[in-house]
């Protein structure tokens, strides 16, 4: 049974990763919470593009091999573009940390069940070639799994409770977000 809330998982992720890491966050409440609480030039938000955070993260990892790329994904978003993990496993970038926050539902919508429990993301990630796979359900385990990441394609499945705050503001000036992210990539 999941012990973490979405808020706790996001706080743990953002507090544990390096300030030099590039962060790609999925559509919906995950991006909105990161934007409101941890907005930074290192973050790129993917609102309105459900399922594409992992594909964008892969492209960035391949094009910037010296930069660690952290993808903060959701279970429903990953289900929308399940082929992306097959491609990541095949390409095996050495700098990609793919964290899936799994509440078992379309949490940003009306919390309908997502069927992530039958997808077995951890087994799938291992089968397609991710080099490091962990399943966590608490903040300490999540922090430890992030800190274990050094080089390779890593997949962390973070099981969380359904629910949480929904009234976050949205990242609306996306051109500005993109421009400062591009500047961040050039400077680091």
- How far apart are alpha carbons 77 and 168 in whole angstroms? 19
CATH T-level assignment (fold) for domain 6-187: Rossmann fold (3.40.50)
The residue that leads in pLDDT, 74 or 152, is: 74
Q: pLDDT tens digit string along 113-147?
A: 676 787 899 999 999 999 999 999 999 999 999 99
Task: Report the candidate in 178, 184, 159 with the shortest Cα–Cα distance to residue 5.
Answer: 159
Whole-model pTM: value is 0.92
- How far apart are alpha carbons 138 and 141 in whole angstroms? 5
- All structural domains of the chain with their residue ranges: 6-187
Residue 167: band (very low, low, confident or very high) from pLDDT cuts 50, 70, 90: confident
Q: Is 164 left (phi over 0), alpha (psi -120 to 50) or beta?
A: left
């Amino acid at each position: 049974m999941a012990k973490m809330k979405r808020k706790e998982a996001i706080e743990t992720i953002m507090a544990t990763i390096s300030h030099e890491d590039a962060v790609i966050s999925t559509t919906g409440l995950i991006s909105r919470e990161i934007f409101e609480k941890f907005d930074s030039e290192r973050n790129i938000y993917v609102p309105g593009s459900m399922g594409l955070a992992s594909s964008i993260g892969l492209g960035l990892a391949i094009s910037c091999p010296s930069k660690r790329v952290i993808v903060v994904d959701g279970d429903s978003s990953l289900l929308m573009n399940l082929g992306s993990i097959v491609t990541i496993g095949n390409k095996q970038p050495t700098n990609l940390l793919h964290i899936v926050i799994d509440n078992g539902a379309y949490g940003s919508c009306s919390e309908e069940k997502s069927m992530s429990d039958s997808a077995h993301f951890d087994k799938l990630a291992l089968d397609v070639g991710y080099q490091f796979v962990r399943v966590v359900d608490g903040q300490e385990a999540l922090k430890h799994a992030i800190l274990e990441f050094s080089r390779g394609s890593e997949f962390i499945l973070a099981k969380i409770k359904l629910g949480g705050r929904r009234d976050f503001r949205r990242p609306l000036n996306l051109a500005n977000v993109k421009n400062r992210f591009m500047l961040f990539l050039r400077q680091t």
